[in-house]
Structure 1
Amino acid sequence: MKYATEFRDPAAAKTLLARIAHVADTLGASREAPIPIMEICGGHTHSIFRYGLDKLVHEGIEFVHGPGCPVCVLPRARVDEAIQLATRPEVIFTTFGDAMRVPGASQSLLQAKAAGADVRMVYSPLDALELARRNPEREVVFFGIGFETTTPSTALAIQQAAREGLTNFSVFCNHITVPEPLKAILDDPFMNLAGFIGPGHVSMVIGTHPYDFIARDYHKPVVVAGFEPLDILQSVLMLLTQIAEQRAGVENQYARVVPENGNPVSIAAMADVYEKRPSFEWRGLGEIDSSGLRIRPAYRAFDAEEKFGIGYAGIRAEIADPEGCACGQVMIGHLKPTQCPHFGKGCTPETPLGALMVSSEGACAAYWQYGGARAAAE
């Protein structure tokens, strides 16, 4: 399989692991004094555990799991607002599948569906647009969620709805951007990071330059990486090489997919449809300036917050996580999933308390599925 099997080659992996070990030894890395590297994307977290990279790399390399799962960082109040919309009798509420099981204060969208709400899983906002065409007597709301990876497709759907003059389609916009929470993490005086593995899918859209501030202002190296085991190992080696050479820059390991300046069509669509919110709440991080996107006034007719008077356009309520739930601390790298008192006990994939166990990209789900964390919890 081109661009897959060649990035899973055992011989090449052994060579990279040996080179990583050599540089790590040169830097004096050890289990007691590790080099902490944050992988921003939840997809990288799962790849690390799926292929056992955390056990294969030099013992002085510590992977720190970042906030790179948009479902996981969605605050519970926004889930409740989605459920509020979904339970309106005139609404067909559409969403990606991974958001259906995320718990709000009292239930999830899946539970609301079981109770009678018209909640439908879609694979694209264009599916929601088609539902609006077929059901002109109903209000079709799409749960716009995700980082810059999924943001362009929602923007294109809104542009298409505007061209067609559809009046029964709107988006509950919860799209968020990656650079701003990274700044918040770097500004945390208790955070100790040596460098970042940059998100591949997000960077495919926005390019590599949005991370320049990390190297320029915080003197931390960034390597945008792919998701195969050799991608991640090579990115670790590239980060260690920068550290050893006492430099900090933004490098692109995933050049076969990620263009330096991103995707111009996607960037143009986002600029046309969205503007920055003054602030947006992140689960585990709180309010972060300019980290969320909202629909511009020119497309206000397609903004579910404006149409139904909810969210930032209405009365907002902050809802805390369940007592003892450590999702917030895990998402910003302060704790490992197994350090949460609920992990493997009150919180499992069958009975999740936190979004990190629900989402397919959540760190807790990765720990549970791979690496024997389930046995450790038991």
Structure 2
Amino acid sequence: MKNLSKEIIKRIEDISRPVKIMHVCGSHEHTIMQNGIRSLLPEEVQIVAGPGCPVCCVPSKEVDECLYLAKKGVTIATFGDMLRVPGANGSLQDAKAEGADVRIVYGVSNAVEIAKKIDNEVVFMAAGFETTAPTTASEIITGPPENLSFISSHRLIPPALKFLIKSGEVNLDALIEPGHVATIIGTKPFNVFSEKYNIPQVVAGFNPLDVLISVYMILKQFKDGKAEVQNEYKRAVRTEGNVKAQELMNEVFYIKSKEWRGFPEIPDSVYEIKDEFSQFNARVKFDIPPQKSPNAVKGCICGPILRGIARPEECKLFRTECNPMNPVGACMVSKEGTCNIAHRYGSM
């Protein structure tokens, strides 16, 4: 593997050119930082991290929806990473410390088990990209317990990429697409970025060789004058994706425009539960009032980091007030967050 890595790096150096490549996956950022991949590449080849952490992208308003319910005595089931994501009125961890019934689960099936065992309303905060949305859809179609409902915080990657490309804020030249998301949606939804905006793309796996090969494939596209979607992760990703999973999502969800943390409203970028399943939509079931957007935390640059225009090391709070034990911004909470990863692996 070491010799193969050296060979790929040499090939990258042979066709290197100034290029800014964005990835949108916490697992990719973890691989890049843990293995010092940025330091192995020519200086002119930049890899920047975009909004690749689903927990980090959940805006304060949606955390506050759960806090609103928790304070009314509803049992909240959520992933461990969501517990400390800040809302305008604190976090779910704060609510738990004050006596609210907030429970950590590893998946939606655990929330179903909780709802079957207790005599109380249970709400599962369904955060995640297209990767986890099918599991939520499957449980809703199956017919969960009557006392279980969902806050859908599922977000779609292609609309966020379109927003970033059109904004011109990042000035990105190429994209490494997330393999996990592509196992569900396939490669076709990314075609428009190559066809309309002339952006080379590679769907990549998650080990160091996957990332290095993807960088080489992108540079090769530039050398050959091409802009297309190539699939480096063929061992897991098919062109059409997981059709069954797509059918489940289309049956349960509709797509709407909504804000992401660090972004304004992104058109057609989130999944919401369709009216025919409204009995499982906590927003409808409990008539949750609109939540206000909070003022930005002074000094925190989580928004620019999520948009790929800043690095954690540029934040004045990084490694001081903001650290994994005391996360000020959402990017420090999850192990997929860019700040959390940078804190663990230094400036590699």
What SS does the aligned partner of 2:50 have?
strand
Whether the aligned pair in 2 keeps the contact of 1:177 and 1:292 (CA below 8 Å) is yes
| Two-structure CA RMSD over aligned residues (Å) | 1.2
1:173-202 deviation line (CA, Å, top 9, x unaligned): 111100101011001133211100000100
Shift in Å, 1:160? 1.6
Which of 318, 334, 337 matches 1:343? 318
Shift in Å, 1:148? 0.2
Which of 255, 259, 263 matches 1:285? 263
Alignment partner, residue 176 of structure 2: 197
The alignment's TM-score, normalised by the length of structure 2, stands at 0.97
Alignment partner, residue 19 of structure 1: 11
Q: Does 1:92 align with 2:46?
A: no
| Partners of 1:152 and 1:183 in 2: CA distance | 23
Q: Does 1:363 align with 2:346?
A: no
Which of 223, 227, 232 matches 1:248? 227
Whether the aligned pair in 2 keeps the contact of 1:161 and 1:169 (CA below 8 Å) is no
Letter of the aligned partner of 1:286 in structure 2? P
Shift in Å, 1:324? 2.1
Letter of the aligned partner of 2:5 in structure 1? A
1:60-81 deviation line (CA, Å, top 9, x unaligned): 2111110111111111121111
Which of 43, 47, 50 matches 1:59? 43
1:135-193 deviation line (CA, Å, top 9, x unaligned): 2x21111001110011000111111226xxx3211001111100101011001133211
Q: Percent identity?
A: 41
What SS does the aligned partner of 2:51 have?
strand
Shift in Å, 1:344? 1.6
Shift in Å, 1:357? 0.7
- Structure 2, gaps ≥5 residues long: none
Shift in Å, 1:15? 0.6
Q: Does 1:178 align with 2:161?
A: no
| Partners of 1:21 and 1:318 in 2: CA distance | 46
Alignment partner, residue 219 of structure 1: 198
Whether the aligned pair in 1 keeps the contact of 2:64 and 2:291 (CA below 8 Å) is no
| Partners of 1:156 and 1:251 in 2: CA distance | 30
Whether the aligned pair in 2 keeps the contact of 1:94 and 1:120 (CA below 8 Å) is yes
Alignment partner, residue 274 of structure 2: 296
1:250-296 deviation line (CA, Å, top 9, x unaligned): 0100010111111111111101100011x111111110111011101
| Partners of 1:99 and 1:52 in 2: CA distance | 28
Q: Does 1:46 align with 2:18?
A: no
Instruction: Classify 1:92/1:190 alpha carbon distance in 2 versus 1 (closer, same or farther; 3 Å).
Output: closer
What SS does the aligned partner of 2:169 have?
coil
| Partners of 2:295 and 2:26 in 1: CA distance | 23
Alignment partner, residue 138 of structure 2: 156
Q: Does 1:77 align with 2:55?
A: no
The alignment's TM-score, normalised by the length of structure 1, stands at 0.90
| Partners of 1:372 and 1:291 in 2: CA distance | 32
| Partners of 2:85 and 2:325 in 1: CA distance | 12
| Partners of 1:48 and 1:149 in 2: CA distance | 21
Shift in Å, 1:320? 2.8
Alignment partner, residue 239 of structure 1: 218
Letter of the aligned partner of 1:148 in structure 2? E
Shift in Å, 1:372? 4.3
| Partners of 1:257 and 1:154 in 2: CA distance | 21
Letter of the aligned partner of 1:139 in structure 2? E
Shift in Å, 1:217? 0.8
What SS does the aligned partner of 2:10 have?
helix
| Partners of 1:190 and 1:170 in 2: CA distance | 38
| Partners of 2:261 and 2:287 in 1: CA distance | 22
| Partners of 2:168 and 2:148 in 1: CA distance | 44
Which of 323, 337, 340 matches 2:298? 323
Alignment partner, residue 32 of structure 1: none
- Higher mean C-alpha displacement, 109-118 vs 200-209: 109-118
Alignment partner, residue 112 of structure 1: 95
1:46-70 deviation line (CA, Å, top 9, x unaligned): 1100111011112221111101111
Letter of the aligned partner of 2:130 in structure 1? E
Whether the aligned pair in 2 keeps the contact of 1:76 and 1:321 (CA below 8 Å) is no
How many corresponding residue pairs? 348
What SS does the aligned partner of 1:67 have?
coil
What SS does the aligned partner of 2:142 have?
helix
Shift in Å, 1:106? 3.6
Letter of the aligned partner of 2:6 in structure 1? K
Alignment partner, residue 138 of structure 1: 120
- Structure 1, gaps ≥5 residues long: 1-8, 30-34, 374-378
